[in-house]
Amino acid sequence: MRVLGIDPGIATCGYAVVDEPPTPGREPVLATCGALRPEGAGPLRLAALFDGIRGLIGAHAPDATAVERLYHNRNVRTATEVGQARGVILLALVQAGLPVAEYTPTEVKLAVTGFGGADKAQMRRVVAARLRLMRPPRPDDAADAVGLCLCHLQGEGMRRLLEGGVPAAGP
Amino acid sequence: MRVLGIDPGIATCGYAVVDEPPTPGREPVLATCGALRPEGAGPLRLAALFDGIRGLIGAHAPDATAVERLYHNRNVRTATEVGQARGVILLALVQAGLPVAEYTPTEVKLAVTGFGGADKAQMRRVVAARLRLMRPPRPDDAADAVGLCLCHLQGEGMRRLLEGGVPAAGP
């Protein structure tokens, strides 16, 4: 399974593509990550973001997607702008027939570092260590997108385990 | 000129199509109005809204669009949801090559009734009277969309007048 993770934003939209571990028990593998910086203003910028997401889907052919869900934003104007960006991102994903999972920042931190209160620097260091990267992904939005992928892959792995049933203990 | 007005929302999205007055000094003409109620949940509902807006554009071939801009919403969660809906609406409009104008509710009330503090019932009555309708448009979201069209047409009329210059008084 290949996951496309997206940290929504209109000025900077982080993304990452991560493959599930090649064998159980190993760590996932980072295919690519970075940030879209759509140009233009207003609705034209939204259209550029939409095209950028479609480009990522076409180039990397993910099987699943994980998008950050934001509730902690206290600024209504920012919430509206991020909402607009999320709208066109989600549209691009469902138009491509991709399943969409949404995670809050706290869920991602818990899954990746084991600690929901981890700060951004800690998150990035754990992400780099788990994926055996020389240094944390840049920019921060890309690192957040990698975290979303890891969070999703862990949840999927756990779900499969539960669906398959736990082997009974031997006699 | 034919204007498509849109009052964004994900559960109910008001729309109206209004033509400029057939002769100067007359009132604009309502072509149609109503509300989209996209089905499904989450991203699929956004996709249904996007398809609905594209359907309106295809069916009514507007030359211009007017979309409500919201800043007064105090609830961040609602702002995010309306933002997502606005995102896919704006995308559908720019993909169709349409110019997008945005107006706040206060701007619309001022333009339509001459009073920025008009309540919703007053707005609807003035809209109905100006367009010579038997009764105010239903639902309320459709009436708001008609107001957006009237606001836009008035602004365009004024702009043309200013660009064309005011005829000099006769001798």
Nearest to A91 among B46, B76, B79 (CB): B46
Predicted ipTM of the assembly: 0.77
| Total of domains in chain A | 1
Closest by Cα among B48, B151, B40 to B92: B48
Range in A8-12, A23-27, B33-37, B70-74 the model is least confident about: B70-74
Residue A91 to residue B88, Cβ atoms within 8 A: yes
Which pLDDT band, with edges at 50, 70 and 90, does A170 fall under?
Answer: very low
Q: B84 to chain A: nearest residue by CA?
A: A87
Counted across chains A and B, CB pairs separated by less than 8 A come out at 94
Give me the CATH number covering residue A25: 3.30.420.10
CA distance B111 to chain A (A): 23
For B74, nearest residue in chain A (alpha carbons): A76
Q: Is residue A153 part of a domain?
A: yes
pLDDT band at B117 (very low <50, low <70, confident <90, very high): confident
3-state helix, strand, coil in chain B (%, to 5): 50, 20, 35
| Contact call for B83 and A88, based on CB within 8 A | no
The answer to whether A35 and A141 are in contact (CB under 8 A) is yes
Rounded Cα distance, B23 and A126, in Å: 69
Name the pTM for this structure. 0.84
Q: Do B84 and A79 touch (CB under 8 A)?
A: no
In a domain, A140, yes or no: yes
Residue B123 counted as domain residue = yes
Inside any domain, residue A166: no
Segments forming the whole domain that contains residue B143? 2-161
Q: What pLDDT sits at residue A115?
A: 84
Give the closest of B47, B73, B86 to A76, CB-based: B73
Question: With bands split at pLDDT 50, 70 and 90, how would you rate the model's confidence at A120?
Answer: confident
- Model confidence pLDDT, tens digit, residues A62-100: 999 999 997 666 677 788 889 999 999 999 999 999 999
Distance between A31 CA and the closest CA of chain B, angstroms = 26
Which pLDDT band holds residue A14 (cuts at 50, 70, 90)? very high
Residue B3's DSSP bridge partners are B18, B64
Task: Tell me which residue has tokens 């359907």.
Answer: B55
Q: Is residue B169 one of the residues assigned to a domain?
A: no
Contact residues, chain B to chain A, C-beta under 8 Å: 42-44, 46-47, 50, 70-71, 73-77, 79-88, 90-91, 93-95, 100
Q: What integer is the mean pLDDT of B119-142? A: 90
With respect to residue B43, please indicate whether it lies within any of the assigned structural domains.
yes
B71 contacts in chain A (CB < 8 Å): 76-77, 80
Model confidence pLDDT, tens digit, residues B34-75: 999 999 999 999 999 999 999 999 999 999 999 999 766 667
Residue A168, domain member (yes or no): no
**Considering the domain boundaries, does residue A90 fall inside one?**
yes
CB atoms within 10 A of CB B163: 7
Mutation target to probe the B interface, by most B beta carbons within 10 A, among A67, A88, A95 is A88
**A155: confidence class by pLDDT, cuts 50, 70, 90:** confident
